[in-house]
Amino acid sequence: MSNLIPPHGGKGLTCCLLEGAELEAEKKKAQGLKKVPISPRVKGDLIMIGIGGFSPLTGFMTRADWKGVCDNFLLADGTFWPVPVTLDASKEDADAIKKGDEIALIDPGSNEIMATMKVTEKYEMAEADKRYECEKVFMGEGTATPKEFWDIAEKDHPGVQMVMKQKAFNLAGPVKVLSEAEYPTKYAGIYHRPEQSRKIFEERGWREIAALQLRNPMHRSHEYLCKIAVEVCDGVYIHSLVGNLKPGDIPAEVRVRCIDVLVKNYFVEKNVVQGGYPLDMRYAGPREALLHATFRQNYGCSRMIIGRDHAGVGDFYGMFEAQTIFDKIPKPKEPGKALLCTPLKIDWTFYCHKCDGMASLRTCPHSKQDRVLLSGTMLRKGLSEGTPIPDHFGREEVLAILREYYAGLTEKVEVKLHGAATGQTQK
């Protein structure tokens, strides 16, 4: 009997990844099926469905699921779920597919067949539907009205751009996943299936585990958040996104090296596990914070560290909107259908010269002139432009790895600063 938090949905880990003879037979069958290309985001979602990371999902959402998630954070069966997980297809492909057909889902980048799927429904996604999804999923407290949101979203919000570029139809139905793509080999020892992270936690005798979401290299604020979590939980799971990011973000292999050196030199290693997962960022702010907690529950984590502007982009979201949203979501009464992974809410953290150490707005009485404001955006901008990084911003061992990476770039993307990153919103 496991002492860990149960997987989300009340059905255990719902894994759709085939193995052995069943895998080989399905691969052979897939060769004769109609092939439908998938986007990088769908590829990551598909792998998470395969390995049980998206339990209880066993396929892509119906229109009823999509609408319920957008409107009420609930699947059609009443299970909590915070963001749509859908498969888009062109009109030409959708016209050639009827209900009940089996299709093969192919990654255009590698030409690999990633999965087979039985189509139970196809539904059109008009521009109005896509805009509706964007307003429900991506519009936060940083924009007061839909007009204000749309004035900047299509130009500056990568998640909105992704949804608006989706094809004309969605296909729904259960999947049989045939591959985890490059992740098990490219990130060997880092990439985990939920069953693997759960096994590690159980072997260590952990019960309460806090997850840290990472898409940036670890700076002093991340380090501090982890150490707070270690103090109040049995251990911390530093869980990095190894899927696709927006232009200008730092690639996963560089971030993994940074975490390695930081854990080795500044943590009690037995209290930390590093892992990676294959999703693309959606930049959905509060909704994505909920998604991160949902699938971390499947990985065995009972707490989700939520700091300032979690999974945000620009000034689209309120500073701590990703924390307060946890207090507003529905709590289904049916066993297993509610989100059980709870937020570890931590205030804005920074290095304070007068405190002579890391602190937060809850613990530091000094002015912002005494503080070294920490953000991944500011770090990337400084490194990209070759400007000096302030003392106490990051550990020197980490900064050395990042400087080496930036020195090797032939093309650099402009990094825009927003209010939260510059500290303009801090008192």
Q: What is the pLDDT of residue 250?
A: 83
172 and 201 in a common domain? no
Asked if the structure places residue 337 within a domain, the reply is yes
CATH number for the domain that contains residue 361: 3.40.50.620
Distance between CA atoms of residues 201 and 106, nearest Å: 34
Asked if the structure places residue 5 within a domain, the reply is no
401 and 365 in a common domain? yes
171 and 292 in a common domain? no
Distance between CA atoms of residues 134 and 151, nearest Å: 13
Q: By residue range, what is the domain housing residue 248?
A: 188-422
What string of DSSP letters covers 55-106?
Answer: TT--EEPPHHHHHHHHHHSB-TTS-B--S---EEE-HHHHHT--TT-EEEEE
175 and 223 in a common domain? no
Asked if the structure places residue 9 within a domain, the reply is no
CATH number for the domain that contains residue 27: 3.10.400.10
363 and 342 in a common domain? yes
Phi, psi of 167 (to 5 degrees): -75, 180
Distance between CA atoms of residues 299 and 52, nearest Å: 9
119 and 99 in a common domain? yes
What total number of domains does the chain contain?
Answer: 2
Phi, psi of 88 (to 5 degrees): -95, 150
Asked if the structure places residue 261 within a domain, the reply is yes
176 and 256 in a common domain? no
209 and 88 in a common domain? no
Residue 170 bridge partners (DSSP):
88, 123
312 and 210 in a common domain? yes
Pairing of strands 87-89, 34-37: unpaired
| Residue 305 tokens, joined | 């560290």
Distance between CA atoms of residues 201 and 301, nearest Å: 9
Q: Which residue has the tokens 């959905």?
A: 284
Asked if the structure places residue 136 within a domain, the reply is no
Asked if the structure places residue 334 within a domain, the reply is yes
Q: H helices of 143-213, where?
A: 146-156, 158-164, 183-186, 194-203
210 and 119 in a common domain? no
Supply the residues annotated as catalytic. Answer: 215-216
197 and 90 in a common domain? no
104 and 213 in a common domain? no
Q: What is the pLDDT of residue 425?
A: 55
In tens digits, what is the pLDDT along the chain, a chain of 427 residues? 789 999 999 999 999 999 999 999 999 999 999 999 999 999 999 999 999 999 999 999 999 999 999 999 999 999 999 999 999 999 999 999 999 999 999 999 999 999 999 999 999 999 999 999 999 999 999 999 999 999 999 999 999 999 999 999 999 999 999 999 999 999 999 999 999 999 999 999 999 999 999 888 888 989 999 999 999 999 999 999 988 777 777 888 898 999 999 999 999 999 999 999 999 989 999 999 999 999 999 999 999 999 888 999 989 999 999 999 999 999 999 999 999 999 999 999 999 999 999 999 999 999 999 999 877 777 878 888 888 888 888 899 999 999 999 888 877 666 665 555 555 555 5
Give, for 241, the enclosing helix (H) or strand (E). strand 235-241
Asked if the structure places residue 207 within a domain, the reply is yes
Nearest to 417 by CA among 379, 387, 370, 361: 379
Asked if the structure places residue 52 within a domain, the reply is yes
Q: What amino acid is encoded at 320 in this protein?
A: F
